[in-house]
Structure 1
């Protein structure tokens, strides 16, 4: 009986684990920007700012905003919207080596936020498997499925029409558990992969040409 009594408080405490707000609504504490263009122009305008209580990716200069901490086994909830025209952005999970691809993108698995394609995977120095790989992963004959510059890196999502009209808020939930990644957009499962080659790492948001606002970036552990 003693082991059961000992385990109960631990399980109870785990169930009560509070979500962690990765963005505090005030500043970019806990994050570090990696903007290659800033290497030669330290006074360049920022790519990421806080405006009216929201984290804003201005889109340019191109780069990433990366958490200072690493995470594993979590559910990440991101509420975002494109403020004007649609365009490109993304959430990168299991991020590790900076600028691994094209001198810009950190080694990671990207969950695409590009308007019209939210929930696509992009493999960046890592890899993940999905059902119907031949159909859902555009490739040329003989091209390798992987995360290298010559590989077939894009994996299409499962649904169209899950995003809200431009200017409205979207909710993306990314669940990373061991070697699996599940993506939901506005309550609809849009992608699921397994056998990921990474199971932990930092989380990054992109500046990739289009302004995007984030009003929530929140993480909770999963068991």
Structure 2
């Protein structure tokens, strides 16, 4: 009976996702539907915008640091991001359930980050929001150090550091947010699975932080919320 229920649930989930409308959040031409939050640009009109469109791609130039954020708020979805480091490997991230701007270190919006940092893709970073995973102390460190603000242990290590492709090749990250659960895949590998997230909706953001990154796809597929095995 448990096996049958499990199979039924998987089939319902597949149906709910496959029949939803996938759409691109980036039109390949400009930043319609997005806004840019870069503290260094506040009082200096000559500061370089670290986000540009190049050859139909959304490009994060890494510096000055900040975020490009969707205007719309989303919940219950699957986000597909195809990215690569354009030259030198480094740091970047995809933020989900983003809300209050500049809530951490005067720059990061309140959110949960799915890390893109080279050789660490799929780590969770808690940014004034929290999420739980199995084996928390093994993957986050001693419980006494946990927290969601400055100086606390906010990183939750991923399940594998061997899912990324060689530098210069395109990687695919999928972030699935349903209710209070967040799951992350990198190139088909499930690299993180969290539950009891303190947020269930918010904006989506991409970072400028550490190294130039090209994004050729940023696509979102709504997921029909499931309650007690039924499509709601």
Relative to the length of structure 1, the TM-score reads 0.91
Q: Please give the alpha-carbon distance, in whole angstroms, between the structure 1 residues aligned to 2:111 and 2:85.
A: 23
Give the conservation status (yes or no) of the 8 Å contact 1:118–1:185. yes
Q: Which of 37, 57, 60 is the aligned partner of 1:57?
A: 60
Cα 1:136/1:53, change in 2 over 3 Å: same
Q: Secondary structure of 1:66's partner? A: strand
Cα 1:172/1:189, change in 2 over 3 Å: same
Give the conservation status (yes or no) of the 8 Å contact 1:126–1:146. no
Give the conservation status (yes or no) of the 8 Å contact 2:77–2:223. yes
Pairwise CA distance, 1:150: 2.9
Q: Secondary structure of 1:42's partner? A: coil
* Other-structure match for 2:71: 68
Relative to the length of structure 2, the TM-score reads 0.87
Pairwise CA distance, 1:20: 1.5
Cα 1:142/1:67, change in 2 over 3 Å: same
- Measured on the aligned residues, the alpha-carbon RMSD in Å equals 1.5
Give the conservation status (yes or no) of the 8 Å contact 2:92–2:211. yes
Q: Please give the alpha-carbon distance, in whole angstroms, between the structure 1 residues aligned to 2:133 and 2:149.
A: 18
- Any stretches of 5+ residues in structure 1 without a counterpart? 1-11
- Any stretches of 5+ residues in structure 2 without a counterpart? 1-14, 225-232
Pairwise CA distance, 1:44: 1.1
* Other-structure match for 2:3: none
Q: Secondary structure of 1:91's partner? A: strand
* Other-structure match for 2:8: none
Q: Please give the alpha-carbon distance, in whole angstroms, between the structure 1 residues aligned to 2:164 and 2:17.
A: 33
Q: Which of 130, 144, 158 is the aligned partner of 2:133?
A: 130
